[in-house]
Amino acid sequence: MLDIKFIREDPEAVKENIKKKFQDQKLPLVDQVLALDGENRAAMTEANQLRASRNAKSKQVGVLMGQAKKDPAKAAEAEALKAEVKADADRLAWLESREAELAEQIHRIMLQIPQMIDPSVPLGPDDTHNVEVERFGEPAVPDFEIPYHTQIMESFGGIDMDAAGRVSGNGFYYLLGDIARLHEGVLAYARDFMIGKGFTFCIPPFMIHGNVVEGVMSQTDMDAMMYKIEGEDLYLIGTSEHSMIGRYIDQIIPEDSLPQTLTSYSPCFRKEKGAHGIEERGVYRIHQFEKQEMIVVCKPEDSMKWYDQMWKYSVELFRSLDIPVRQLECCSGDLADLKVKSCDIEAWSPRQQKYFEVCSCSNLGDAQARRLKMRVKGADGKMYLPHTLNNTVVAPPRMLIALLENNLQADGSVKIPAVLRPYVGGKELLIPNK
C-alpha cells in the first residue's frame, strides 16, 4: 500500500510501476484515487472552516443574548445567528459523513494499487520470465529409475492418501511411521537451524482477524488462499507470516529493538484453487501442511541486506541436507502486489530432471507496516514505517519430495543426511518394508 502523498506528487511513476507489473487494467485507479482524494481534502477544508465559524458564531450568540436584556433587537439578531449555526451544523454533519465515505473509497482503491517494485526486479508478465541467478550443488540423475514421491513413501508404509480422501477429501494425507518421523525431524532441524542464526522461535495463533488478513496480503491472494471460519471474524492462516506480522498491528516499536528476527512454526491451510498437473499431485500442492518460517522487521535502510541474508539461509539449509538448489529472481509480473522484490529457492528433482519451488523469500518494504499501522519511534522522537520480510525455512511436504528423491539409493533405501540423524533417532538409512 502506497503513501497517498507519493501518488499525489508522482502519479506518473505509480502508473509506470503498474505497467511494469503488466496490470494495465489498474491504471484508471490512479486518477480515480486522486479525484477522490481531492474531493476529500476539499471536504476536510470546508469542514474545518465551518467548525471555526460555528465556534465564533456560538460565542457571538452568547454575547447577543446577554445584550438582549437591554436591547430587544439583539434577541432577533441572536436568533438569526442561531439559525446560521444550525445550518452550519447540518452542513458539517453531511461533510463528516462524506469524508468517511470518501476515506473508505480511497482505502479500497489504495489496497489495489501495487507496491513500487525495486529497480533490480526483472520485467516480465508471468513466472515464465523469472530469471535464474545462481546454482548451488551439482544436480545429478542416478542410473536407476526414481519412482513418484508418493510411491517412495508407500514403500515405507509412510503415506495413506486414500484414507485421507475418505476422511477429508482431496488435498489431504496421512503420514505414518518413518516418513512421519522424517517430516517432524525436518521441522525440528529447521527450527534449530534458525535459532542457531539468532532468530527467536515462536508458535503463533493459527487463526487471525479479517483486518489482519487485509493488512498482510492482497485481496486477490486472500480470495485464492484463505479459509474463513463461518460466522466468525476469523481466518485460518495460509502461512505463519500472516499472524507473525499481524502481531505488530497498531503498535509502536522501539527503534532500539530492531531488527526483530523471528522463526515460527505453524500448520498452514490453503484453498489452492484451480486444476494442477500431474507433477503437483501427491503432497506437492495440498490444503493442509506444516511449515517453519522466518520473518524480519527492520529499519528501511537494512531491508535489502536482510533480503540477501534470508535467501542465503535457505540455500545453506538445503545444501546441508545434500539437496542441490538454485536461486530464481521473480519477475515483475510474478510479484504479489505488496512485494518490492522476491526470489524463489528451487530444489533439484532427479526424477523430473528439473528444479521445483521449495522456498520463497520476499521484501515487502513498508506495505504491510502501512496497512497494519506499524510504526517505529526513532531516536529523534519521529515516527516512521519499518520494513517487513519473510522467507520459507522449510515446508516439509515439498522438502520431503526433494529429500527423498536426492537421497534415494538403488535398493529403495533412503540415506539420512548427517545433520538430520539426531532428529530421527540416529538412523543413517531408511529401509523400505514394501
Which tens digit of pLDDT belongs to each residue from 366-404? 999 999 999 999 989 999 999 999 999 999 889 999 999
CATH of the domain at 307: 3.30.930.10
User: Is the separation of the CB atoms in 113 and 26 below 8 Å?
Assistant: yes
Q: Which of 110, 135, 167 is the last residue of a domain?
A: 110
Residue range of the domain that includes 329? 127-430
**C-beta neighbour count of 206 within 10 angstroms:** 16
Say yes or no: 105 and 162 in one domain.
no
- Is residue 46 scored above 80 in pLDDT? yes
Q: Which of 54, 84, 110 is the last residue of a domain?
A: 110
Q: Is 223 exposed, middle or buried (0-12, 13-18, 19+ CB in 10 A)?
A: exposed
| Dist CA 368 CA 1 (whole Å) | 7
Say yes or no: 138 and 95 in one domain.
no
Give the residue-averaged pLDDT of 120-132: 97
Give the residue-averaged pLDDT of 211-222: 87
- CA angle at 371 for the pair 105 and 33, rounded to the nearest 5°: 30
Q: What is the pLDDT of residues 300-345, one digit of tens each?
A: 999 999 999 999 999 999 999 999 999 999 999 999 999 999 999 9
Q: Provide the H-helix boundaries in 232-384.
A: 240-246, 303-320, 367-372
Looking at the chain, the whole-number percentage of residues with pLDDT higher than 70 is 94
Q: What is the pLDDT of residues 130-148, one digit of tens each?
A: 999 999 999 999 999 999 9
CATH of the domain at 23: 1.10.287.40
Say yes or no: 344 and 415 in one domain.
yes
**What is the number of residues in the chain?**
434
Number of structural domains found in the chain: 2
- Is residue 409 scored above 60 in pLDDT? yes
Residue 119 lies inside a defined structural domain of this protein: no
| Dist CA 227 CA 187 (whole Å) | 24
Q: What is the pLDDT of residues 174-210, one digit of tens each?
A: 999 999 999 999 999 999 999 999 999 999 999 999 9
Say yes or no: 178 and 57 in one domain.
no
Nearest alpha-carbon partner for 433 in 144, 152, 150? 152
Residue 329 lies inside a defined structural domain of this protein: yes
Please, what's the b/e burial string for 51-82 (b: 16 or more CB within 10 A of its CB; e: otherwise)? Answer: eeebeebeeebeebbeebeeeeebeebbeebe
Give the residue-averaged pLDDT of 66-85: 69
| Least confident stretch, 38-52, 277-291, 292-306 | 277-291
Say yes or no: 69 and 157 in one domain.
no
- The whole-model pTM stands at 0.90
| Dist CA 61 CA 56 (whole Å) | 9
- CB proximity list for 208: less than 8 A, separation 6 or greater: 234, 235, 237, 242, 243, 246
Give me the residue label for grid cell 483486518: 211
The pairing of beta strand 375-377 with beta strand 252-254: parallel
| Dist CA 58 CA 105 (whole Å) | 34
What is the reported pLDDT for 78? 66
C-alpha cell at 99: 469524508
Whether the upstream peptide bond of residue 142 has omega within 30° of 0, thus cis, is no
Share the mean pLDDT of the chain: 92
Residue 257 lies inside a defined structural domain of this protein: yes
Residue 134 lies inside a defined structural domain of this protein: yes
